[in-house]
Structure 1
Amino acid sequence: MRFAFVLTSAALIGSAFVTSATAQDTGESLYMDACASCHGAAGMGAGPLAEYMTADVPNLTQLSQRNDGVFPMLDVIQTIDGRTGIRGHGSEMPVWGRQFKAETIDDAGIYGSEVYARGKILSLAYYLESIQED
């Protein structure tokens, strides 16, 4: 059962990332569900919960500007994931890697749930890349 779920999940995730446009659509949906409450629907750091944070909520549309015009993909992935020691906003940023992995660990097992989590994180990163200001 787990093996079949892992194969099916990997195939679905792989097919979902055939184009970055598809990943961006998936990422936008994930962003609205997981990130917009703090970062705002437009990603400018003005979500409804931002005023309750003890740390500043960054404007996610200016990540490239703050990185000499280059989108810092690896840093973004590691910050969203949160399991690698890079923590966004001090300790207020949720550890999404752990959360996403927990969503399927019972059905997919340790490896399948890791594929699932990484797919979600990559989709979010592609979406953030797509909303960068010039």
Structure 2
Amino acid sequence: MVILVANFVSLPRAFVWIGVVLSLLTGLAGGLVAGRLTSGGWHTRAIHALLTGLLGGLLFGVTLWFSMSYAIPRAEYSVMWAINYLLATNPLGIQQLPWLYTGNTLGIVLVLLSMGLFAVEGYIAGGAVSQTDHRSQWD
């Protein structure tokens, strides 16, 4: 859901960068939910949240790459537009790593980075969430 909002909803210019930060923190929210719904110790909750973060990061990275390559439309001043603008106007390391900006190489890097970011966020949030007994809610 966050990915759709990040791609198709225009934000006021003052809130675009807040939306970028919030969308990059969705791994924390996914990890929190996965950790709360998983029974077991902190390590089990953290692993489930890590897997949730990997999946969310994959979806986010692929959507970002498709929106950058115009395979899917994106709204102007949306979160994905802002990330694309940031990458287009500040090509980090283009002098040192020119191969990164050829073909689909940048897309692979963006997908892997977003998967890593969301997985780490999910792992931290899933391991840090308190353990609750969900059976007592339904009895």
TM-score when normalising by structure 1: 0.36
Q: RCO (CA 8 Å, sep 6+): is it higher in 1 or 2?
A: 2
Q: Which has the larger radius of gyration?
A: 2
**Structure with the bigger percentage of helix:** 2
